[in-house]
Amino acid sequence: MAAAGESQPAPGERSRRSESSPTPSPDDQPVSRPRKQSDWFVGARQLPAGYTHISDANLKRLFQENPTPEVPVRGYAEVKYRRWVERNQLSVVPEAEAADSQALAQRKRRRDEDAADFNISLTKDDDNILWGFVKNRMLHRMHWKNNMVIDACIMDALGISFDHPEYKSVRATAGRNRDTWQGRVLNNAHVFARDFLRSETGKQKVIETYKGKKMYIWALDTEGKMAKQCLLIDATLFPPSYSTLETAKAVFACLLPGLDITCLEDAQKKPTYLGHVLIKKALSYIQLETSYIIDMWLSEEGEYTKGPDDRHNRQDNHLDYIATIDALTMPSVRIPSSTQGEDIELGCLFDIPSYSSFESRTRLKKKSKISAVANGINLSGIDAPTPQLRMIVTEEGFYFVDGKGVMQAAA
């Protein structure tokens, strides 16, 4: 029986710990630490909060090198470290030191610098926070290539780096959970696609046109090679109710714990820029699942044939199109740089709840892109709010300043 208030993995989700094992806490015995310096914790984030790099090459540079890699400086590791420092730096202060402010300051400094007794073990709270970040990043980009996105997500959430003793384990589990949650999003979109095809509009304008056909064609890609292109139905055929936040939330229901939903609506309860993005993403998945049903679950007579016990069998052309949905519906802005004539494109992240909302004291609520012949949904007509930022490029790298020239550090 789980302790009151402790979050448990949903069916199909994976935790790195047995439910019969006691949950580690920051007060437990620390992991044994080798004497040599290890790259346990990442350095400061090089982008303001709310933004991320899009290209794999830039994602590798999302974090600065940590000059003290055994001391956490960001993510949940920093939160735990600060709490540890606060618990220890003023405890059992000798009377003579208490009367000497200079000695007290030196004592605090020494404790800040000495992390020898800080427990670097990952806890259930670390799991919950990472799962929240994974879900949040999946809303921005569902297709994760070559582990670059998952590495950036782990470092952003937990502040740990490649040499951390539990890094490989947590990355493997995060990848499996991401796959599980992607399947749930597709299954939710499938229900809307199925119901649409059963409607009069679906029967008359879609099934009569596409039954018996494959929802892709072979065509030359931009490199002159033969590649599949998806056939997608016209999204304007869907009922107006499909282009609402209510439907978007239903499609992405399993990812909502990683989303601060207040970012989706303004004071007048109208969709914000990110709200419109989520609507278009959801509509894109319903559109994709409609093609999948026509391909795999529609009889020659136009009847839906998938039974409740039948397993999904999405083909490569269906799953590979997810990367194209990302490309068409990824919220982004372009930031000017100090290099004349150049700028950089940054992804706009959906807002995420605070760390405390995921902690156990509260309930935790490489393939080519597949293009489409036509009807792909994109973000034309809606513009991202452009931050007042400018990128400064130096020999050491780059950083961002606001309109007054003040350097912007990540939150």
pLDDT at 38 over 70: yes
Q: For residue 297, is pLDDT > 50?
A: yes
Where in the chain are the domains?
Answer: 51-179, 181-402
Q: What angle do CA 368, 370, 375 make, to 5 degrees?
A: 160
DSSP 203: I
pLDDT (0 to 100) of residue 400: 63
What per-residue confidence (pLDDT) applies to 93?
52
Tens digits of per-residue pLDDT, 54-80?
A: 988 889 999 999 999 999 999 999 999
Tell me the C-alpha distance between 352 and 232, whole Å: 32
> How confident is residue 177, by pLDDT bands cut at 50, 70 and 90?
very high
If one compares 224 and 368, the residue with the highest pLDDT of the two is 224
pLDDT value of position 343: 81
Considering only 104-108, 130-134, 208-212, which range has the smallest mean pLDDT? 104-108
* DSSP state letters, 168-183: HHHHHHHHHHHHHHHH
Strand partners, 53: 346
* Confidence tier at 222 by pLDDT (50, 70, 90): confident
Chain-centroid distance of CA 206 in Å reads 34
Write the pLDDT tens digit of every residue in 3-14.
Answer: 444 445 555 666
Comparing CA positions, the residue from 298, 286, 283, 287 lying closest to residue 372 is 287
291 secondary structure, DSSP code: H
Local confidence band at 151 (pLDDT 50, 70, 90 cut-offs) = very high
What pLDDT sits at residue 398? 55
Model pLDDT, residue 90 = 57
Provide the mean pLDDT of the chain.
83
**Helices 124-140, 167-198: crossing angle, 10 deg rounding:** 50
- 80-113 exposure pattern, b = at least 16 Cβ within 10 A, e = fewer: bbeebbeeeeeeeeeeeeeeeeeebeebeeebee
d(CA 89, CA 105): 10
CA neighbor of 30 nearest in space, from 111, 121, 114, 159: 121
313-345 pLDDT per residue, tens: 999 889 999 999 999 999 999 988 766 567 889
Q: Which of 63-67, 211-215, 218-222, 255-259 has the lowest mean pLDDT?
A: 218-222
Sheet with 226-230: list strands edge to edge: 216-220, 226-230, 371-372
The structure's pTM equals: 0.78
Q: Is residue 106 over pLDDT 80?
A: no
Per-residue pLDDT, averaged over 99-124, amounts to 67
Q: Which residue has the higher pLDDT, 154 or 118?
A: 154
Q: What percent of the chain has pLDDT over 70?
A: 74
Question: How confident is the model over 265-282, as pLDDT tens digits?
Answer: 999 999 999 999 999 999
Least confident span in 64-78, 111-125, 259-273, 365-379: 365-379
Distance separating alpha carbons of residues 46 and 404, to the nearest angstrom: 19
Radius of gyration of the chain (CA): 25
What per-residue confidence (pLDDT) applies to 16?
Answer: 59
Neighbours of 125 (CB within 10 A): 24
| Per-residue confidence (pLDDT) for residue 279, from 0 to 100 | 98
pLDDT bucket at 140, cuts 50 / 70 / 90: very high
143 to 6, 120, 175: CA distances (angstroms) = 30, 31, 11
- pLDDT-based confidence at residue 30 (cuts at 50, 70, 90): very low
pLDDT score at 406? 61
pLDDT of residue 128: 95
Is 216 strand, coil or helix? strand
Mean pLDDT of 34-40: 65
Task: Enter the DSSP assignment of 149.
Answer: H
Per-residue pLDDT band for 115 (boundaries 50, 70, 90) equals: very low
The widest CA-to-CA distance across the chain, in whole angstroms, is 90
CB 287 within 8 A of CB 235: yes
Where residue 20 falls among pLDDT bands split at 50, 70, 90? Answer: very low
Query: In this structure, is the dihedral angle defined by the CA atoms of residues 228, 195, 237 and 284, taken in order, positive or negative?
Result: negative
